Chains A and B, each alone.
Chain A
Amino acid sequence: MQYPDNGGYMIAAYVVAAVVVLVYAVSLFVRLRKVAR
């Protein structure tokens, strides 16, 4: 290996960030739907 084997951390971080962004986006979408009714 020419570079350290720490890809696991990278995957974890990218997944966590994506999850937070998506959960928040969905929560906004759902709350907007609820108030529009």
Chain B
Amino acid sequence: MTREKAETLARRGTLLTSVALVALAAVYLRALMFTPVERFQGPAQKIFYVHAPAAWSGLLAFAVTGLLSVLYLWLRDRKVDLVAAASAEVGLAFSVIMLTTGPLWGKPVWGTWWTWDARLTSTLFIFLLFVGYQVLRGAILDPETRARYSSVIGILGLVLVPFIHMTVYLFRTLHPDPVVMKPGSPALPGDMLVTLLTSFGVFTLLYLGFLAQRYALGVLRDLKEEEASRAVS
């Protein structure tokens, strides 16, 4: 990728992120001021409008990293690795939101900060896998080796998460059923559903904006290093 293309991508990504941030503010306003409070769970139920979409973005990021890892080992194209790595970093940010808002929702609504149920446990380990991925990348200097090793972890992680889910499911589960994903009519009344779906959309936009920016950053850094090593030799 040329420097111009990368810089254009960076600009477009920044624009998309900025739009998504404004939209996020709008969602915040709608959720906090214009969406009814749920009678039994109280205001804390509204955390769901942030927690669930963040979890979705985190999961999306994880899947993208995993699938691109497979693609990298097949194609050995450095760009694929850079997108995978970008997705992993963005995913880490969303995982942090997921893991902090989750307990803040769990405590008032379910009475406990944490339960080792299938969904929460899976998200915790997705977070740890993201952390491991970053640490591994940080410890390897050669870009080609780094790309290869990251892909190995990416693939292993992708295959692992369903097993973790199954493990805990076998053990027990307390997490509520996904109110939106039921076939037929969803269990959330109109206003709340609109807020939730809008939030999902905004978080997806945010993921895409961050991804574009982070990928562009990776490409630009690569280019800079190439220029530097050429200047020395």
Contacts and interface: CB of A to CB of B under 8 A. Distances in A.
* A–B proximity contact (CB within 8 A): yes
B54 A17 contact: yes
> DSSP majority for the A interface?
helix
Nearest to B107: A9
Interface of B: 7, 10, 14, 17, 21, 24, 28, 32, 37-44, 46-47, 50-51, 54, 90, 93, 96-97, 100-101, 104-105, 107-109, 206, 210, 213-214, 216-217, 220-221, 224
Contacts of B43: 3, 6-7, 9-10
B217 A32 contact: yes
A17 B210 contact: no
* Residue from A10, A18, A20, A25 whose CB has the most chain B CB atoms within 10 Å: A10
Contact of B47 (A10, A21, A29): A10
Given A24-B93, A32-B220, A13 B39 contact: no
A3 B40 contact: yes
A8 B43 CA distance: 9
B186 to A, nearest CB: 21
Contacts of B93: 20-21, 24
Contact of A14 (B14, B32, B96): B32
Given A6-B108, A28-B213, A31-B217, A21 B39 contact: no
A28 B32 contact: no
12 contacts: A3-B39, A4-B44, A9-B44, A10-B46, A18-B24, A18-B28, A20-B93, A21-B21, A28-B14, A28-B214, A29-B213, A35-B221
A16 B107 CA distance: 16
A7 B44 CA distance: 6
